[in-house]
Amino acid sequence: MDATHTDTARTLARQAEAALDEGHTDLADALAAVARLYARLAATPGSPGPANPQADLAAAETRERAAQAELRAREAEDLAKLTPRERAARKVARMILDATPADDEPDPASLPLQAVQSAFDVSSSTASAYRTEAAALLAGGYRPAA
């Protein structure tokens, strides 16, 4: 067993529990996923595990960073006392940015309305309105801090 990976898995598991206690379920899920992957990496070489644990770990760490960024965005929105609609528009703007390649300009049409409908459990007309508001935010220079 790899002691470094084991210690990291335990630390991440504790962080996941703390995030869950604070009500941050997305972050807790991401931290727990990374902890599970570190635990797999710590297992003995002959034990069964994912075909490519390093790739799985990289993907889980990416999900963790995304969950942490989303948490920071929600905390900033809390401080700004945004309405639920304003929060939704900002979340859709972040979804558009996530769907846009790094060197490209954000294209609201690249985010399917179905994705917005699913994320918010809203009708297509409401999803369209959220996406339109997000497009206006992006055109006005909205870029959340990384």
Q: How confident is the model at residue 68 (pLDDT cuts 50, 70, 90)?
A: confident
How much is the mean pLDDT over the chain? 78
* pLDDT for position 1: 47
Q: pLDDT: is 70 or 141 the higher one?
A: 141
- 49's tokens: 């595990």
Q: What percent of the chain has pLDDT over 70?
A: 79
**Residue 132 and residue 143 in contact, taking contact as beta carbons nearer than 8 Å:** no
SS in 3 state form for 72-91?
A: HHHHHHHHHCCCHHHHHHHH
Which of helix, strand or coil describes residue 1?
coil
pLDDT(125) > 90: yes
> Rg for the chain (alpha carbons), in Å?
18
pLDDT 10s digits, 18-64:
776 676 667 767 777 777 777 777 665 555 555 666 777 777 777 77
Burial 79-116 (b: 16+ CB within 10 A, else e): eeeeeeeeebbbbbbbbbbeebeeeeebebeebebebb
- 86's tokens: 């304003």
pLDDT(143) > 70: yes
- Dihedrals φ, ψ of 58, to 5°? -60, -40
Closest of 99, 92, 93, 144 to residue 120, by C-alpha: 92
From CA 95, how far away is CA 77, in angstroms rounded?
Answer: 16
pLDDT 10s digits, 104-117:
888 898 899 999 99
**pTM given for the model:** 0.54
Q: pLDDT: is 143 or 120 the higher one?
A: 120
Which of helix, strand or coil describes residue 101?
coil
Closest of 116, 120, 76, 118 to residue 98, by C-alpha: 116
